[in-house]
Structure 1
Amino acid sequence: MPELNWIGKNAVVNHHREVPYRLVHCDSELSAGDADSGNLLVQGDNLEALKALLPYYAGKVKCIYIDPPYNTGNENWVYNDNVNSARIKQWLGKIVGAQADDLSRHDKWLCMMYPRLRLLREFLREDGVIFISIDDNELHHLILLMNEIFGPTAYVSSIAWQKVFGRNNTAKFISDTHEHIVCFARNIKALELNLLERGEGEDSRYKNPDSDPRGPWTSSDLSARNPYSLGVYPLRTPSGREIEGPPAGRYWTVSKENFEKLDADNRIWWGTKGNNFPRLKRFLSEVAQGVIPNSLWMHSEVGHNQEAKQEVGSIFHEANRETLFSTPKPKRLIRRILQIATNPGDIVMDSFAGSGTTGHAVLDMNKQDGGNRQFILVEMDEKIAPDTTGERLRRVINGYHKGGDVSKPVEGLGGGFRYCRLGTPLFDEFGDIDGAVSFSDLAAHVFFSETGAPIPQRVDGSTPLVGQHGEQIVYLLYSEPEQGFAREEAGNVLTPDMLASLPDTPEGFEGERVVYAEGCTVSADRLKTEGIVFKQIPYSIQGA
């Protein structure tokens, strides 16, 4: 297979393994709606955020959509689009080294994208799929990169999206009216995409000129170019005309025996006078209740750039639309992706969240079909994340006035999300709990990894009880000074006496009790009898 090479590649091909696992802290003040909806917005570098989230969501995400920098060389908008920002420069200098000064903008883009795509692949379920928006600047590089990371057999399609509805007559050569959405599967053999709803356009071609009791039908050619050993034979039309065989260079698509069965069942159309070449009748009542998505998405179906800006402007009426976020994607575009790639209950990820269209589309689709899809969004910019991405989600969840007009209220979509930030690295270079990680931090991490929910309240280690969520109670036996050493006197070992002293469970509790500790001296039989699941520190901690 052809391989893509660029300056700095050797420094980044394994960099995703070197990125430290960081703690994730939730901020209730910036969160909104139902705290247990499972939706997350994480503020922080998406490479570090992906690594931090991997222990919780590896192999669980059905659909990923990302809209990364297109690397156009344009530095005049909120996302520095030629990957020449101070943060990217600093990262490249650290990871690539002295070569960073010699990188072209394409080298930089590839260095930035490679480790992120490697991590994103790990989030996908076996039947998962990723969609990536891109334009001509990096399309060719992106497909080669995806072939290397996902494998060439994982390629699904490169969709052309009509991003504008007009022609640019000032273009130097050809007016640029579309972008690309590159689609790859985690495992092409496991991938199943949904059909799109049939529209009036698809059904309008079905007629019933012969009043067939099976209802409207359309006809298709009964001949094809593919050679077929049983596909050459003469026919006689109902009018008596002799047809020597299929058209020159073609073959009937069915054998003579099967043709006669179809004709007897009135599934052959000979024309109104019974004198035409035969065609196969296909009944509307027998076709699939949906249509296969095609690779050309017109703005009339999925929206365009101007529509996307108007959507954002109607929500943020008080802001200048151009400076707020100049390149959002239309909600209808993301909705189309969700329609074909997700079902209720699936997890959707977007690690270049920007204006928050993906989260908005998930909430909107859940409202429409009663589903409970969850989104995981990551936004790097410290201002965009709370003020644009998060604020858009808060407004569409709770409701807002379109364009700020109180006479045009927009009902809230419901749902909710947790706003999170990245904390300190969880492990040191030796794989042990980092010395900077406090009991409170570790407790929050193990509770979230076990339950999928933030810790109910901050704990300080005065009790091993971390918290309860549903039918699960989590305990942590951890001594910061004795980190890495299992010592009963330090209280970090689950002994029979320690087990007996654990805080009582609520009356009627029949769920699971999970105890994290440096060691355990309780027999397996007693653990089973007591409904205890022991997990050893640090080996059983997600991300270790």
Structure 2
Amino acid sequence: MLNEQPAVDGIEKIAKETPDLTEENVQKLIELFPDVATEVRDPVTGEVVKGVNPEALLDRIGKTAGGGYPVARERYQFTWPGKRAAKAEARTPIAKTLRPVQQRSKNWDETKNLYIEGDNLDALKILRETYAGKIKMIYIDPPYNTGHDFIYKDDFAKTVDADKAESGDYDEDGGRLVANPESNGRFHSDWCSMMYSRLLLAKDLLTSDGVIFISIDDNESAGLRFICDEVFGSLCFVGDVSWQRTYSPRNDSQGLVNEVEHIIVYSKNPGWQPKTLSRTAQMDAKYKNPDKDYIEWTSSDPFAPNAVTHQGMVYAVQHPFTGAMIYPTNGRCWSFEQPQMLQYMNGWCEYELKDIDDAEQRAKVCGIASSEVRAGVKALVLIKPLDVSKAEAQVVYDRGHWPRFYFTRGGQGGIRRKTYLDSVGGKLPTNLWPYSEVGHTDEAKKEIKALFDGQPPFDTPKPVRLITRMLNIATDKDSLILDFFSGSSTTAHAVIAKNADDHGARRFILVQLPERTSGDYTDICEVGEDRIRRAGEKIRSNIETTNQQPNLDGKQQAVPDIGFRVLRIESSNYKDVRLTPDQFTQDDLDASIENERPGRTPLDLLFEALPSFQLEYSSSIATLTGEPFDGYTVFSVNDGQLLACFDANIPESLVRAMANHDPRPSYVVVAEKSLPNSAARTNFEEIFKQAANAIDGATKIRII
């Protein structure tokens, strides 16, 4: 939640910037170790604030990464010039907001999808307030480090001269100490810093069972692994997927031909397991039904491992055709316990449990001395004479539909176990994704070319099938998916297509910096937004065409959410009033109640307030009409969960209408200019208190 400011006449005031994560961390440390708290003077404001005494903290912990030796002791780590600044950049608060851009959106009122225009570092900081712990899957395809400057210019990006001084690539006289310092130093450092700060924030957004997929090439794959190990933890490393990106490698390449790209996968917590994939016809081909059972099956090993720890499952089973005693192979046991096994064998003829004094044989199977084997484990033996039992078993064999454990070679061979097709589940995903299964770069270019009438506006898209593979193994039907390097919006295309395929309600949040582009589009954001429109309309058209076909038995496929709200990152809707007393003029004091920036709309103000109430930017928004709302703009968010009005000097009649609204609002937010003086604010509070006594539950009131 946004950090709250001091109350104004008892009404809490909403902050105008994202939280200071450094302050959050300080508070957490002090809560754990109260004795490390100290007071320091803020070098900017001059105020005395709480801090952490580093020496006291080290003494409290009792051991450092250096094992008690001086901090400068060498240790295993991955670092680069600018790393500390990148970490600080992730914690630094910003006074920015998301402004709605309705004219570039599609299905504004109904959609739950978001498209954010702006720097993704800012976007992640803003999204963290509302979406922390809510994102099931993140996919990013960041710019690869090709030895050139890239467009994400954060505060920690350094000049060449600064990098020379810090990195040690040059001596005191300016001479080179390493070959090709442009690629070995500055660009690697800038790329690592750019990714590090963003991944620190991205981790906070993932659900406890969330996962992130990161596309990367060979240049930075090793460094990315180190960064992710630090951010997510090495135990959360899921795999390094090799995507076969091309089906026709170039023969003019130098050295090894680049046929695959990496997809680095990390989970929020250790132990993440992917969902299985659909089975293929080739996988199912080995399942047969020679005995006319209820479903196809394949022959499996009847034994399981760990005999010595499962001695109750080490016993003899008498063969119904030959009379021989069958034991598990050495070191193994039966895959079922005796009661279940007895039921299966009774499907051939009558069996009973009987002590046959076979401790020595069972001990041999377990690999232990006969004195150590479990006593009292009986065998499954025939009740009737062998010739009678054999005749009964032969009838079963000739009839078909054999029991779960059956005998090979017409009943005269060894014992095997049936594994039924409906019990094996799907295909486990591997770390090799061939183009035949997930597409290749040429397929991706053809996809976007077809959407844009043969004139593709984007050169390096990813294939929809590649993102679909990730959705298949990492999401549920109602999952929220984030892509904060969204490019041509392949992720949105894949989410809509997947929802159409399995009737899902997945939602996406895309973030893209509006980089300039050539052709008919001004920037990449226009390309991405137009692709979502075109892909969504194509999917809708295909569904409607299918629904019109005869013989569907009334089964109409629903059109998924093909819309999106466009939001743009801009400065706060409010002027910067974070001034020290000596910086205020009388004009500033007189104008402080009118703190909105020119040109900002009530809807803009509402969107800046939403994070304070943990309300998502996709929340439903309606404008209340009729008496006494006529002439005022009063928003109802999520059917009255939040009521908001930012008009000046709102009358008492409007306040009473908001206080008594049905359903009763959980939150109400107004602007400072709505209640211009202490008397108005006191009256505002009193009206809501009276309503709370009349109607069960109290409304939280905020002022922005």
- Fold agreement, TM-score > 0.5: yes
Structure 1 counterpart of 2:297: 217
Q: The residue matched to 1:113 in structure 2 has which SS?
A: helix
What amino acid is aligned across from residue 314 of structure 1 in structure 2? A
Partner of 1:122: 204
TM-score by length of 2: 0.61
Quick check: 1:185 aligned with 2:267? yes
Aligned to 1:307: 443
1:294 aligns with 2:430: yes
1:393 is paired with a residue whose SS is helix
In structure 2, distance between residues paired with 1:276 and 1:437: 87
Q: Which residue of the partner structure matches residue 564 of structure 2?
A: 417
Contact 2:140–2:215 (Cα < 8 Å) also in 1? yes
Partner of residue 206, structure 1:
287
What is the number of equivalent residue pairs in this alignment?
493
TM-score (structure 1 length as normaliser):
0.77
1:351-500 matches, within 5 Å, as 351-383=484-516, 384-399=523-538, 415-425=562-572, 437=597, 440=601, 441-447=604-610, 450=615, 452=617, 453=619, 465-472=633-640, 473-476=642-645, 500=653
| Alignment match of 2:88 (pick from 6, 11, 14) | 14
Q: How much does 1:180 deviate? A: 2.3
Amino acid at match of 1:69: P
Contact in 1 for aligned 2:137/2:482 (Cα 8 Å): yes
For residue 416 of structure 2, the aligned residue among 249, 266, 279 is 279
Structure 1 residue runs of 5 or longer lacking an equivalent are 74-81, 403-410, 480-490, 493-497, 539-544
Q: Deviations over 1:428-455 (max 9, x none)?
A: 6959999665674434422576463487
Distance change >3 Å, CA 70–CA 277, structure 1 → 2: farther
What is the CA–CA distance in structure 1 between the aligned matches of 2:506 and 2:423, rounded to whole Å?
A: 31
Q: Deviations over 1:453-485 (max 9, x none)?
A: 48768xxxx987541245225234698xxxxxx
Give the distance between the partners of 2:424 and 2:439, measured in 1 at CA.
28
> Match for residue 216 of structure 2?
134
Contact 2:136 2:480 in 1 (8 A): yes
Who is 1:482 aligned against?
A: none
Question: Partners of 1:429 and 1:282 in 2: how far apart?
Answer: 71
Deviation at 1:416, TM superposition (A): 0.6
Please state if 1:53 is matched with 2:131: no
Distance 1:336 1:509, change over 3 A: same
Comparing 351-360 with 169-178, greater Cα deviation is found at 169-178
**Contact (CA 8 Å) 1:527, 1:533: kept in 2 or not?**
no
Identical pairs, percent: 30
Greater fraction of residues in strand? 1
Report if the CA contact (8 A) 1:21-1:426 is conserved.
no
Q: 1:260 to 1:345 in 2, by over 3 A?
A: closer
Could you say if the C-alpha distance between residues 42 and 275 of structure 1 is closer, same or farther in structure 2, counting changes exceeding 3 Å?
A: same
Measured on the aligned residues, the alpha-carbon RMSD in Å equals 4.0
Alpha-carbon distance in structure 2 between the residues aligned to 1:149 and 1:252: 44
Q: CA deviation at 1:26?
A: 1.9
- Separation in 2 of the partners of 1:525 and 1:160? 61
Distance in 1 (CA, whole Å) between partners of 2:316 and 2:218 is: 52
Shift in alpha-carbon separation, 1:111–1:99, aligned structure 2, 3 A? farther
Cα pair 1:447 1:454 within 8 Å, conserved: no
Q: Which amino acid aligns with 2:644?
A: Y
Deviation (angstroms), 1:121: 1.2
Partner in structure 1 of residue 470 of structure 2: 337
**For residue 406 of structure 1, what is the aligned residue in structure 2?**
none
Partner of 1:407: none
Gaps of 5+ in 2: 1-64, 66-75, 168-184, 348-402, 517-522, 542-557, 581-591, 624-629, 673-677
Taking structure 1 as reference, are residues 171 and 86 closer, same or farther at Cα in structure 2, changes over 3 Å only? closer
String of CA shifts for 1:122-175, please: whole Å, max 9, x gaps.
Answer: 111222221112232222222222221112222223322221223444455543
Q: Mark the CA change 1:13 to 1:146 in structure 2 (over 3 Å): closer, same or farther.
A: same
Q: CA deviation at 1:55?
A: 2.1
Alpha-carbon distance, 1:381 to partner: 2.9
The question of whether the paired residues in 1 share the 8 Å contact of 2:463 and 2:490 is answered with yes
Selected match of 1:110 from 172, 179, 192: 192
| Preserved contact between residue 328 and residue 355 of structure 1 (Cα < 8 Å) | yes
